[in-house]
Amino acid sequence: MPNYTFVVNGKTVTVDAPADLPMLWALRDKLKVRGPKYGCGINVCKACTSHLDGEAFNPCVTPVSDCAGKEVTTIEGLADGEDLHPVQEAWLEQDVAQCGYCQPGQIMAAVALLKKTKNPTDAEIDAIENVCRCGTYFRIREAIKSAAAKM
């Protein structure tokens, strides 16, 4: 099997995997980076949302070969050591998480949105498609607005 080398959360790694293996399984099963979650495998629930070269991407439908030479950031790589990212802080302040399973993806989607726009409108927040089955959407919205105000 071919080898693919890329950076995950600041660390250079190499995995031995078939070219079409979804990145989610390279991360979770080969590298044991288990913050990104499986929820659907077809890019509709977005629970695995992470960043590829700074842009939101969904590892469940991205072949590992597409990530070669690139920089992957998962939820584990968002904080600076013990210092949380402002979006993570806002999530704590609003006590967003219930079961928590979708929240790594929600947070990575929110961070990507705030990179594009400093003060997202309700319509821009509405466009985040990540499913939260506990139904925490209102607190997610409040947390994004709170983070935007502080950033």
Partner 1 sequence: MASPTTEPADPGQVGRRRFLTYLVAAPTLTIATKLTADAVAPAEAEAAIPTLPQPAEILDLGDVLTLSCAPTAGLLVLEITADGRARLQLPRCEVGQGISTANAMLVAEELDLPLDRVDVVLADARTELLFNQLTGGSNTMRSLYDPVRVTAATARARMMAAAGAQWGTDASRLSTRDGAVWAPDGRKAGYGTLAGPASRSGLTIGAVQPKAESAHTLVGTPTSRKDARAMVTGKQVYTLDLDVPGAMPVMVRRPPTINGTVKKVNNEAAVRAMPGIIDIAVVKTGVAVMAETFGQALDGKDALDVTWGPGTVDGENNDSIKKKLQAAALPFVVPPLLTQYVDGEFDFAFASHAPMESNSAVADVRDGSATIWAGLKSPIVAKQTIAQELGLPENKVTVHVQQGGGSFGRRLFFDAALEAAHISQAMKKPVRLMWSRIDDMRHGRARAASHHKIRATFALGQVLTFEHRVASVETDWSHGLGEILTAFAAKLPVGGNLSFAQTVFLLTIKSPYNFGVTTQLLNEVPLKFHTSAWRSVYSANTRGAEEIMVDEIAKKLGKDPLQFRREFIKVDRQRAVLDKVAELGEWGKTMPKGFAQGIAVHGEYKSYTACLVELDARDPKYPRVTKATIAVDVGKPVNPRGIQAQMLGGLTDAISTTLTAGLHIDKGLPLEGSYSQFHYARQKNSPPDVTVHVMPANGEDIGGAGELGLPAPVGAIANAYARATGIKPRSFPITFPVDFDPFPR
> What is the binding site for partner 1 (CB under 8 A)?
1, 17-18, 21-22, 24-26, 28-30, 32, 34-42, 44-45, 47, 74-76, 78-79, 84, 88, 91-92, 95-104, 107, 122, 125-141
**Residue whose C-alpha is closest to residue 51's, from 65, 37, 26, 70:** 70
Q: Which is nearer to partner 1, 26 or 67 (CB)?
A: 26
Q: Which is nearer to partner 1, 70 or 137 (CB)?
A: 137
In the complex, minimum distance from the CB of residue 78 to partner 1, in angstroms, rounded to a whole number = 8
Q: Which is nearer to partner 1, 52 or 128 (CB)?
A: 128
The answer to whether the CB of 36 falls within 8 A of the CB of 75 is yes
In the complex, minimum distance from the CB of residue 80 to partner 1, in angstroms, rounded to a whole number = 12
Q: Rounded to whole angstroms, how far apart are CA atoms 64 and 80?
A: 26
In the complex, minimum distance from the CB of residue 34 to partner 1, in angstroms, rounded to a whole number = 4
Phi, psi (rounded to 5 degrees) for 102: -85, -10
SS3 state at 27:
helix
Length of the chain: 151
Q: Rounded to whole angstroms, how far apart are CA atoms 39 and 87?
A: 22
In the complex, minimum distance from the CB of residue 79 to partner 1, in angstroms, rounded to a whole number = 6
